[in-house]
Chains A and B, each alone.
Chain A
Amino acid sequence: MTRTGAPRYSRRMYLMVLLALIGSGLGAGQAVGFALSTDRAFDLHSCLTDHGLRLTDVAGRASTDTLSQYHACVAGYNRAQIGYLLGGAVIVPALALLLAVGSGLWLRARLRRIPAPSIDPGALTTSFERWCDEAELVGRRRPRLQVVPAGRGFTGTRTTAVPFSRPVVVLPAGYLLPGSEPAATLALAHELGHVRSRDLVLAAATSWAGWLNLPVLIVALIPGAFGPTPLLPAYVWSIILAITLSATVFALRASVLRRRESQADRYALQQPAVQQAGGEHLLRAAAGQRQPPPQPGWQRLFRTHPDPGERVDIAARAEPPWQDGFTFAWITSLLATFTFQAFFVVTISLGGFTWWRPNAGTDFTLALAGPAVFWAAVLVPAWAASDRPMLGGRVVGERSPARWPVLFGSAVGLTLGIYIPAPSGTVSLGSELPSPPVSMFWLVLAGLGISVIAGGFADAARGWTGRRSHWVAVLAAVTASAAALITGWNVAWNALVLHWLNGSEAFDRAFLIGQGAIGWWRWTLPLILAIAVGLSGSLGDLRKLWRPIVGAAVVGAGVALVLTQMRIGTTQTGDEVWLLLTQRWWICALAGWVVLVSTLLTAPAGTRGLPAFCRGLVAGTATAVLAGLAQFARDLLAGESVDNLRNLVGFVRGPGWLLGVLVVVTVPAVLAVRDFAGPADPDRRWVPGTARLSAAVVVVTLPVALTLTGPLTGVRADQSTLQRLAAARLPQPAKPRPAVTQTQPTPQATEQSTGPALDPDRQLRAAQADAILRRSLTRLPHDWRPLEAPKIGPSTSHPATEVRPAACDDLLKRLSAADTARPRSADRVWSAKLHHDGLPLGTTILDVTLTSYRSAAVATETLADSAAQPAKCSKWSTYNATATDHRMNFTLETEPAQRVDGQSWQAVLRAEGRFKLPMNIIAVLYFRVIGRNVVVVSVTQARRQEIDLKQLRLLRDDVMTATVAGLK
C-alpha cells in the first residue's frame, strides 16, 4: 500500500460533531432547567412584582436604585439556569465520548475472547504488515490484524478503534480459503483507507451524535409533558421540529459515511497490490457476491454504504471533495446559526450579570462570535483548497462562473439555522420576525452577500501556494470572513427588527447609514480592508489600478462638492446638515462602487494575479476614501470643519461603510450578470471595444437611478424620521408596560366623538369578521402580538366536564346547546398575547370573538342567556386532569354594566386550582350585541398578575371599541 490517493483527513467534521453535541447539550440543559425551575420562576416573578419590576427591566432600562433589587430577584434563577445549561453542554459531549470509547472497548473485549482460527493466516499477516509500512502507518496509527474464525458473529471485514490506541482490522477467516487472496487484498486495502483518513473515531462520533439525539429529544420533551398547561401548544412545533432534526441528523450521518466508504474504495483501487489482483474487476466481483436484502425506499437514506452495484462506478468517478460542495456549505452554515441560537439562550439567561453585558446588542454579538468564527474556519479553508475559484472569473483560456450552489447553500443555511428552534426552545429567533417569507428573503440576500465576501477572501488565499504562507493567508481570510458575518448579521437583524417596529423605509436607510458610526463593527471595514491589502502580496497589482481609482475619485468628489456648494446655503438645522453630510458620503461610496464593479467585470480571477474581489475591494475603498478626503479638504478650506479629527474620521469611515453595504447588497447581482449575461468566449474581455460604452451606462445608471428614486439619499428632511434615527443611536428605552394610558380613548369617549352610526342589520361573512378583528388588534400596545393559527379561526367552546353543582352543569349544557343551535353566518375568534419573555410562568392573552347571527333577536337572546348566568350560577367547579385534586374552581361576578347604544354586560371570571403551584387565573370579560352581531372580548392573565385589573379592563374596552367601530 502506498500513500497514493490517500483520502482527505477532515478535522472539520470532528469540530462539527462536537459543536452539534454541545448545541444539543445546551438545549437539553435548558429543557431540564425550564421544567425543574418552575418554583424558582414563581419566586422570581413574585419578587419582581413585589418591587414593582418586570423581567425585562435590565441594566440600562432600570434606575440604579432598583438594579440591586432586580439582581437580588433574578440571581437565584439565573444561577440555576446557567448550571443546567453548562451541565448539558458538558454532559452530552462527555457522554458521547464515553459511549464511543465504551463501545470500542466492548468490541475489543469481545475480540479478545475469540480463539485463533484453525487456518493459519501466515502470508496474509506478512503482506498486511508490509502494506502498513508502505502506507506509513506507524505508532498508534498502525492497525493490528485479527483473523476471526467462522461462526463468531463477524461476517464482514471491519475496523474498530479506541482513542489513543491502535486500530484493529477484523478479517473473517473465510478470506483465508484458497483463492480468496485477491478479495482479502481488496478488503484490507479498503480498511487501510479508512485508517489513513482517520474515519474510525469519526464514524463512532457521528454514530453517537446521531443516537444521542434521541435521549436529548426525550429530555427536551419534559417541559411539554410536565410543564404548565399553557406551554403545551407551543411545544407541538418544537416536538415536530426536534423529531425532524433527529431524522435529518441520521440521514446526514449516513450520507457522510457513504462518502467515506467511497473514498476508501477509491484509495483501495489505487493501490498497486489491488490493481495487480484485478482492480475494478475485483471490486465488481465482490459487489456481485453480495445479495442485499430488499429494503423499503426510505431506508436507503440511512444506509452507511453505497449500493453494491454502484460502488465501482462511484469509486471510479473523480468525485469532488464534499467539503467545498453545497451540502457541506449549508450544513455548516445551518449549524453555525443554530449554535448561535443556543449560545444566545445562554447570554440572555445571564441577564442579571450586567458588568459584562452593557446592552442587549452585546448578547447578540457575543453569541454570534463563536459560531461565526466556526463558520469561517470550516468553510473558508475548504473553499481555499477547492479546485475552482469561488467567485469564478476569467482564468487563463477559460471562463469560470461563480460557484452559485455553494454560495446559495451557505446563505440558505445561515438563514434556516435561526428558524429552527433550539431543542428545548418554544420559539426560534427567526419566528420573532414578522412575515417569514419576506424576512427570510432579506436574510438570504444578506447571507449571500456575506458568503460572497468569504468566497472572495478564500479565492485570495488560494493564490498563496507556499505551505506556511498559505495558512497565514487562510487565517487572515477566516478572520475577515468571520468579521463580515458578525457585522452583516448584526446589521441585517437589527434592520429587520427596526423596520418591523418603525415601518419606515426612510428610517431603514438612515439606520444603515448610522450603523457605520456606532457599534464595534465600525472597525470591521478597516480590518477587512487591511486583510485585503495584505493578501495582495504586492503593491504592484494595486498600483496598476491608480488610473480608475483617481479618475472615479475625482468624479465622485466633484459631484459631491458641487452638491455641497449648491445646498450649503440652504441648510438651516443640524438635521439638514447631517442629511447633506450623509449624501456626500453616499456619493463618495458610489464612486468606489463603480471602481469595484468595473474591476470585478474586467479583471482576471483565480490563478493569475490578485483575485478580482480583493483587488476590487481595495480599489473601490481607496476611491471612496480619496473622494471623502477631498470632501474633508473642502470643509477644512471653507472653515466649516469644527472638529477636524472627527470630520476626517467621518469622511473616511462613512463612505467606506456605505461601500461595504453596497458590496453585500449588490456584488452577488453583479457577479450574476457577469456569469449569465457575459460574453461566452473566454478570451474576450467582459468590456471589449464597443461594449465598453454600454457597460459604462449600466455602471452609471444604477447609482443615478437609486439616487433619484431615494434609496441612496439617506433620509428625507423629515423631522420625525430624524428624531427616530437619533433615538436609535441611544440605548433602547424601557418597554412601556402593556397598559392603556388614560390618554387613550375610552369606549365612551370614542363613541361620543364618532357617534354610534352602526348598521344593526349588517350580517358578516367570515372574511369580513376576520378583517374587523385584525384591525381591532392593531389597537394594542406594541408588546402585544397577534397569535398565528390555530388561535385565529372559528370560535369553538368546549363544554366543561363534571361540572359541580348539578344546577350549574344543567345550565351550562343548556346554554351551550342553545348557542350551538343558533344559525350564524360568521363565528371567528382572534387572539393576541403579551410578549413572552421565555419564562414558564405568566401568560396574558386577549381574545376577541365576533359572531354574526341571522337576526338581531337571536343576537340579543344570546347575550341575555350569557348575562343570566351569574344570577343562576356564579360559582362552579370543573374536572381538570392536571390539577392535584383534579378540580378547577370558577367564580363569575357581574360588573356594573356600562350601557352604550346596544346591550352589553361585563364580568370578571376568576379560576383557581391547585397544581404543582397554586394557579390563579383572572379574566375580564365584555359582551356586547351590535345589531345581529355579538362581540366578546376577554383578557386572561395567569399567575403573575403583572397587569392590574384596571389596566386589563382598559385594554379590553379599547379592543371592544375598535371592534365596534369596525362594524360601522
Chain B
Amino acid sequence: MLSIDVGGLRDDLCLEGCELALTYPELARLAVETAAPEELELLPDATAAWYDGKGRGGRPGRWTGGAVEFGLDSALLVEVVFPLLTGTMAEVLGERVTARWFARKRRRAPEVPALTLEQAQRVREECLTQALNAGLKPHRAALVADAVSGALLLQAADER
C-alpha cells in the first residue's frame, strides 16, 4: 500500500504518521498543488462540497434555468478537480455508464480504487482529455494529468 505525505490534509484525515490508501482529496490536493497552487485556499471548500455530495463539477453547457451568465469566468482547477478525478477513474475502470453512481459511492468511500499498472498508464491520457473538456488550458491540464497519473502509477507499482 502506497503511503504518501499529503501535507496539511493528513492532519484533517489521519493521525500523524498513519498510513492511508490514496484518497481522492489527497489526489486532488496533489493536482492543485502541482498545477494551480494559488487555488489551494479554495480547496477545503471544494473538498467539503465533495464530501457533502453537492459538488456537481464545472462541466460546460449545464442547464442554467434561464439565468444569464458572464461566460468568461476563469476555469479554476479546484472547481473541476473532483469531477475530473472521479470521471477519469470511472473511464479507466470501464464504468462509463455508471460514472455518476460511482462518483457518489466514492464520496462515502474516498479511497481511490486500486488500479493495475495498465490501468494506471491509461490515467494520464484520460485525465488530460477530461481536463481539456472541462476548460483547462493545455499546459495546466498536462500538469494535472502528470501529477495524477504519477501518483497512481506509484500506487500501482507499490501494490504489485
Contact = CB atoms under 8 A, between A and B. Distances in A.
A261 interface: yes
Contacts of A170: 67
Interface stretch (B1-9, B11-19, B75-83, B113-121): B75-83
B66 A203 contact: yes
B87 interface: no
A178 to B, nearest CB: 8
20 contacts: A107-B64, A113-B54, A149-B45, A150-B46, A150-B49, A150-B76, A151-B42, A151-B48, A151-B54, A151-B55, A152-B45, A158-B69, A177-B38, A178-B38, A187-B70, A194-B68, A287-B72, A290-B135, A293-B60, A304-B71
Interface of A: 100, 103-104, 106-107, 113-114, 117-119, 149-153, 155-161, 170, 172-174, 177-178, 183, 187, 190-191, 194, 199-200, 203-205, 207-208, 257, 260-261, 264, 283, 286-287, 289-293, 304-305, 308, 311
Contacts of B68: 158-159, 191, 194, 199-200, 203, 257, 260-261, 264
Contacts of B34: none
A305 B79 CA distance: 21
A155 B75 contact: yes
B57 interface: yes
B74 A289 contact: yes
A183 B74 CA distance: 9
A155 B70 contact: no
B75 A117 contact: no
Interface residues of B, number: 42
A95 to B, nearest CB: 14
B149 to A, nearest CB: 20
A156 B71 contact: yes
B78 A157 contact: no
A291 B49 contact: no
B70 A293 contact: no
Nearest to B43: A150
B79 A174 contact: yes
| Most chain A Cβ neighbours within 10 Å, of B55, B62, B67, B80 | B67
B70 A107 contact: no
B142 to A, nearest CB: 12
Contacts of A311: 72
B94 interface: no
B137 interface: yes
Given A289-B75, A290-B73, A149 B67 contact: no
B50 A151 contact: yes
Contact of A293 (B39, B47, B79, B133): B133
Given A149-B42, A293-B132, A293-B133, A208 B72 contact: no
Nearest to B136: A291
A298 to B, nearest CB: 15
Contacts of B80: 155
Contacts of A150: 39, 42-43, 45-46, 49, 76, 78-79
A264 B72 CA distance: 13
Given A151-B45, A177-B41, A200-B66, 7 more contacts: A149-B46, A151-B46, A151-B47, A160-B65, A174-B74, A177-B42, A200-B67
Which 6 A-B residue pairings sit nearest by Cβ, starting from the closest? A204-B66, A151-B46, A151-B49, A155-B58, A103-B65, A149-B45
Nearest to A106: B65
A283 B38 contact: no
Contacts of B72: 187, 283, 286-287, 289-290, 308, 311
Contacts of B46: 149-151
Contacts of A161: 67
Given A155-B75, A158-B68, A293 B45 contact: no
A117 B74 contact: no
A113 B64 CA distance: 17
Contacts of B135: 290-293
Contact of B67 (A158, A172, A264): A158
Interface in B71-110: 71-76, 78-80, 82
A160 B49 contact: no
Contact of A149 (B49, B62, B136): B49
B85 to A, nearest CB: 12
A682 to B, nearest CB: 43
Interface centre among A107, A170, A293 (most CB of B within 10 A): A293
A260 B57 CA distance: 27
A153 B74 contact: no
Contacts of A118: 41, 44-45
Contacts of B73: 155-157, 172, 174, 187, 286, 289-290
Contacts of A208: 66
Nearest to A258: B71
A264 to B, nearest CB: 8
A772 B26 CA distance: 85
Nearest to B141: A291
Most buried by A among B42, B73, B133, B135: B73
Given A187-B70, A293-B60, A104 B65 contact: yes
A304 B63 CA distance: 12
Contact of A152 (B38, B49, B66): B49
Contact of A291 (B48, B82, B132): B132
A903 to B, nearest CB: 70
B67 A153 contact: no
A279 to B, nearest CB: 14
B27 to A, nearest CB: 15
Contacts of B76: 150, 155, 172, 174
Contacts of A257: 68
Contacts of A264: 68
A204 B65 contact: yes
Contacts of A203: 66-68
B143 to A, nearest CB: 14
Contacts of A173: 42, 45
Contacts of A291: 75, 132, 135-138
Most buried by A among B41, B45, B80, B133: B45
B65 A119 contact: no
Contacts of A183: 74
A400 B60 CA distance: 46
B138 A152 contact: no
A155 B138 contact: no
Contacts of A205: 66
A237 to B, nearest CB: 32
A934 B158 CA distance: 89
Contact of B57 (A153, A159, A191): A153
A200 B69 CA distance: 10
Contacts of B43: 150
Contacts of B70: 156-158, 187, 190-191
Nearest to A118: B45
A86 to B, nearest CB: 27
A117 B65 contact: no
A714 B62 CA distance: 65
B150 to A, nearest CB: 23
B55 to A, nearest CB: 4
A346 B110 CA distance: 62
A591 B84 CA distance: 79
Nearest to B66: A204
A167 B129 CA distance: 37
B66 A207 contact: yes
A292 B67 contact: no
Contacts of B55: 151-153
Nearest to B82: A151
A302 to B, nearest CB: 10
Contacts of B82: 151
A196 to B, nearest CB: 12
Contacts of B138: 291
B51 to A, nearest CB: 10
Given A150-B46, A152-B49, A153-B54, A174 B78 contact: yes
